[in-house]
Amino acid sequence: MSGRAKAFWWLVVITGFTLIGSVLAVWRPTLGELPLLALYMLAAIATSSLKVRLPGILSTVSTNYVFVIAGLLDLHLASGLLIATAGVLGQTFYKCEKKPQLQHFIFNVANISMAVAAANYFFAHRMLESIDRFGVISIVSASLAYFAVNTVNLSGIISLTTGTTLRSVWMESFLWTSPQYIVGGVVATAFRMLVAYMGWAGMLFTFPVIYLLYRSYTVYLDRVVDQQKHIGEMAQLHLRTIEALALAIDAKDDTTSAHLRRVQVYASELARELGVSPVEMQAIEAAALLHDIGKLAVPEYIISKPGRLTPDEFDKMKIHPIVGAEILERVNFPYPVVPIVRAHHEKYDGTGYPDGLKGEEIPIGARILSAVDCLDALASDRQYRTAIPLDKAIEMIVAESGKSYDPRVVKILESRYRDLERKARTESADAGKVSSHVKVERGGCPAAGFATEDGHDAGINNLRMSISDARREFQMLVEITNDLGSSLSLDDTLALLAIRLGKAIPHNSVVVWIRKDDRLIPRYVNGKSFTLFSSLAIPIGQGLSGWVAENRQPIVNGNPAVESGYLNDPSKVTSLRSAIAVPLVCREQVVGVLTLYHLQAEAFNSDHRRILQNISGNVALVVDNALRLEQVQQAARTDELTGLLNSRSLFEHLAREVNDCARENRSVGVILMDLDGFKKANDEHGHLAGNRVLKNVAEGLRKCCRPTDVVARLGGDEFVMVVTDPGDGLPELMGRIAAAGYAAGAEIEYKTPIAISAGAAVYPDDASEAERLLECADERMYEEKRRRKASSSPGQLIVFPKGRATLPAPALKAHGT
């Protein structure tokens, strides 16, 4: 017993035995009373075996109460005390299931003595005698007084011993027995009358009535016990179901293993200290296990994120108290679990979520749960940090007393956290585990075959949909991550990304913009307004995507019209009405922007933004690596000084062209060129000036040819142009080449003039092999050089393929040479 229970025991014992001593001290029995007293005492002892055990507590109700009341009516208080003591003696030691302790017997004697005295008061003072000739009111009042004193004292000692409230013990275990005492008082009156008129024989008629009274209560209580047993079994089944569900929640997040069980231990002990009702205690124990069930609707990558959450991720996390409450509403608990689960992230000062409750507005269970949940989370390892020492964690909780947490809860937690931690460790060590990492070898495939793509059941309710969406979102992110690393080709990777995004985020067009200097260039375009987006080059800071690139911030439901609006071209319009864009940042540099467009206004939401932001890092890394690879490949194919194809790339391209021409029955031309006077001018002006000439020549040659033609630097001051389907355009092209050489030298203001000598060959007229075409063009170029050296006249010639005309130098002047 606790200290308070011991004090109450002594109070009842001292009061009861003082009463017995004071009454017996003045009792002077007569010889005529003693036989009747002995009869009543024997009857009380005999009927002690007719006792009924009260369900739920270690207490019984006996029918010997009838003879206690009869003794009071026939004799006086002293006789009633002796009869009651004899009845307690028989009830305690006769046919007892458990060996009684002396302290129990002493308390029962003192308690029954107080009850007899209370009943005697109403017999001795018939205040309503004028209207109660037959004493019915006195008998009923005395019976109720006996019942009240007896059961209240018993409820008090049980309450102080078990930690439950006196009211709950009295209401649940004793109140329903009150009719028995009223009936017993009536039977006692009848018994007295029978004895008065029939003598001892009247007792024979009384015993069957008492037995029937006993049997009726026995049958009734047997049914009550069976019903309570069934209720208990269902409650245990209910509790085991809750624990299994809690284990499923624990299995979703491996890092919180045994967290729920530990929180339950802490919360239950704190609730007991705060004196909550049994119903609230049951609710707290269930809520401690189920408070995180709403996390089933939160994507796993957010729950297991090894770092701080973004605002969008935290918004998604904050729905779990609401979802948890919605799930548990369907369970229809017999105690208030749902309000606790919904409010377990509310703060005492009103700054919590989801409803902003404060102070006493927050259910006591939620106030307890929020404090112990935070303490255990601080003292446990998490993905984003290691465990904090328990003493340090409790200091952090105490610092939030009155702000985040109820000061009463914090005070008890601070005084008992070490004891509670030891108990939590002991009980959580036996927490169940789920075999989540086993592999089943048997089973080839499901009866319906393997799925080819994810399905979607449009008929499920919103709650189930939110949970399945979270799973699907996580799976989609995994698939995108795998796709991004599956190919070295940037274009192929972006195409796969667009396909995956189409399943997760509805859209009508997608563009991946790549940053090139101060502009965004469309690298991948698919969907509506393809031609428009493919033709744009958006300056950084302008348009929707340009703003995202400059500010490094996502934008949701922007206006797609602003992408082309800066061009001030009314002809370039789009039917798209909303856009969502996220920057692609890698190594602290914006490498591009991922933008989705939709025909409907306000088509995107924060969930879509969160998905894009979660994949943007991987997409940016892939884009950056692919661009770097392309730069390396481009460097390997091009001449470093001029940016033209190098000799290796030239030979590969020319070989492909010849093969294609042979297969498609078409022609290709090759023009081989070098610079006349370049060596002398280079010696006069230096190599830096010579490099400038080579760059100018390269740029001039690019401008001379068509987009389908290719210009390459063969080496030194030699250049080659591969012309697809030259037809009759070679003479005009050669004229432009000569003009480009003269302009390159004039820009530098060389003392020695620069000119281009060139020779051309055409497949298949001059050669059928790529190498032979180059040789033929080379021979004609040197033939022209020899002619120039042999003649000092201005009529220098550029040599063309056999059978083609030549242009004299004066004719070239007409083209600007």
Same domain assignment for residues 178 and 297: no
756 has pLDDT over 50: yes
- What is the pLDDT, as a whole number, of residue 14? 92
Tokens representing 28? 């002077």
Q: How far apart are CA 632 and CA 668, in angstroms?
A: 29
Within 707-803, where are the H helices?
730-748, 770-790
Mean pLDDT of 450-473: 47
537 has pLDDT over 80: yes
**Least confident range of 339-343, 389-393, 469-473:** 469-473
Mean pLDDT of 681-708: 83
Same domain assignment for residues 477 and 620: yes
- What is the pLDDT, as a whole number, of residue 459? 38
- What is the pLDDT, as a whole number, of residue 611? 85
Tell me which of 648 and 219 has the higher pLDDT. 648
Whether residue 455 is contained in a domain is answered as: no
Question: What CA–CA distances, in Å, run from 206 to 39, 183, 191, 578?
Answer: 14, 13, 6, 93
Which H or E element spans position 718? strand 718-724
Mean pLDDT of 372-391: 79
Q: How far apart are CA 668 and CA 36, in angstroms?
A: 141
- What is the pLDDT, as a whole number, of residue 794? 41
Whether residue 232 is contained in a domain is answered as: no
Mean pLDDT of 323-347: 88
- What is the pLDDT, as a whole number, of residue 457? 40
Mean pLDDT of 481-493: 63
From 609, 634, 659, the end of a domain falls on 634
Q: How far apart are CA 259 and CA 380, in angstroms?
A: 8
Tell me which of 557 and 313 has the higher pLDDT. 557
Whether residue 454 is contained in a domain is answered as: no
658 has pLDDT over 50: yes
Same domain assignment for residues 70 and 201: yes
Same domain assignment for residues 474 and 609: yes
Same domain assignment for residues 617 and 758: no
Tell me which of 572 and 430 has the higher pLDDT. 572
Same domain assignment for residues 615 and 716: no
Same domain assignment for residues 617 and 702: no
Whether residue 439 is contained in a domain is answered as: no
Q: Please tell me the total count of domains within the chain.
A: 4
- What is the pLDDT, as a whole number, of residue 68? 74
Q: What rounded mean pLDDT belongs to the chain?
A: 77
Tokens representing 298? 């939160």
Tokens representing 198? 């029939």
What's the pLDDT band for 11 if we cut at 50, 70, 90? very high
637 has pLDDT over 50: yes
183 has pLDDT over 50: yes
What's the pLDDT band for 228 if we cut at 50, 70, 90? low
Whether residue 246 is contained in a domain is answered as: no
CATH number for the domain spanning 684: value is 3.30.70.270
**Least confident range of 324-333, 441-450, 575-584, 792-801:** 792-801
Same domain assignment for residues 645 and 629: no
- What is the pLDDT, as a whole number, of residue 565? 61
- What is the pLDDT, as a whole number, of residue 76? 75
- What is the pLDDT, as a whole number, of residue 624? 84
437 has pLDDT over 60: no
Q: What is the CA radius of gyration of the chain?
A: 50
- What is the pLDDT, as a whole number, of residue 569? 61
3-state secondary structure at position 566: coil
Across 169-183, 566-580, 772-786, which has the greatest mean pLDDT?
A: 772-786
442 has pLDDT over 90: no
Calculated CA dihedral for residues 236, 242, 247, 253, nearest 10 degrees:
-160
What's the pLDDT band for 167 if we cut at 50, 70, 90? confident
What's the pLDDT band for 331 if we cut at 50, 70, 90? confident
Within 163-310, where are the H helices?
166-173, 178-198, 202-252, 259-273, 278-290, 300-303
Whether residue 456 is contained in a domain is answered as: no
Sign of CA pseudo-dihedral 108, 109, 115, 118: negative
Distance of CA 662 to the CA centre of its chain: 63
The pairing of beta strand 710-715 with beta strand 718-724: antiparallel
pLDDT digits (tens, 9 = 90+) for 244-264: 766 665 655 554 546 777 888
Tokens representing 318? 């904050």
314 has pLDDT over 80: yes
357 has pLDDT over 90: yes
Same domain assignment for residues 701 and 588: no
- What is the pLDDT, as a whole number, of residue 406? 92
580 has pLDDT over 90: yes
Give the residue from 186, 290, 310, 200 showing the smallest Cα distance to 246. Answer: 290
Same domain assignment for residues 66 and 212: yes
From 369, 402, 428, the end of a domain falls on 428
Q: How far apart are CA 791 and CA 784, in angstroms?
A: 11
Tokens representing 309? 């959450």
pLDDT digits (tens, 9 = 90+) for 494-504: 887 888 788 78
- Tell me, what DSSP letter sits at residue 645? B
- What is the pLDDT, as a whole number, of residue 253? 54
- Tell me, what DSSP letter sits at residue 310? P
458 has pLDDT over 70: no
What's the pLDDT band for 133 if we cut at 50, 70, 90? low
Q: How far apart are CA 531 and CA 541, in angstroms?
A: 22
CATH number for the domain spanning 359: value is 1.10.3210.10
Give the residue from 463, 557, 456, 545 showing the smallest Cα distance to 504. Answer: 456
From 374, 396, 428, the end of a domain falls on 428
Whether residue 245 is contained in a domain is answered as: no
Across 67-71, 119-123, 344-348, 568-572, which has the greatest mean pLDDT?
A: 344-348
pLDDT digits (tens, 9 = 90+) for 20-53: 888 888 888 777 778 777 877 887 777 766 655 5
What's the pLDDT band for 568 if we cut at 50, 70, 90? low
Instruction: Tell me the residue range of the domain where 141 lies.
Output: 3-227
Amino acid at the residue 87: G
Mean pLDDT of 787-791: 73
596 has pLDDT over 90: yes
Same domain assignment for residues 415 and 500: no
Tell me which of 559 and 209 has the higher pLDDT. 559
**Least confident range of 292-306, 470-484, 706-720:** 470-484
Amino acid at the residue 781: M
Q: How far apart are CA 667 and CA 201, in angstroms?
A: 141
The pairing of beta strand 578-586 with beta strand 710-715: unpaired
305 has pLDDT over 90: no
Query: pLDDT above 70 covers what percent of the chain?
Result: 71
Amino acid at the residue 573: V
- What is the pLDDT, as a whole number, of residue 513? 92
Whether residue 153 is contained in a domain is answered as: yes
Q: Is the pTM of this model over 0.75?
A: no
- Tell me, what DSSP letter sits at residue 254? G
- What is the pLDDT, as a whole number, of residue 677? 79
pLDDT digits (tens, 9 = 90+) for 513-525: 999 988 999 998 9
Q: How far apart are CA 231 and CA 229, in angstroms?
A: 5
Give the residue from 24, 1, 2, 5 showing the smallest Cα distance to 153. Answer: 5
Amino acid at the residue 718: E
Same domain assignment for residues 219 and 290: no
Amino acid at the residue 340: I
The pairing of beta strand 755-763 with beta strand 555-558: unpaired
- What is the pLDDT, as a whole number, of residue 190? 66
CATH number for the domain spanning 186: value is 1.10.1760.20
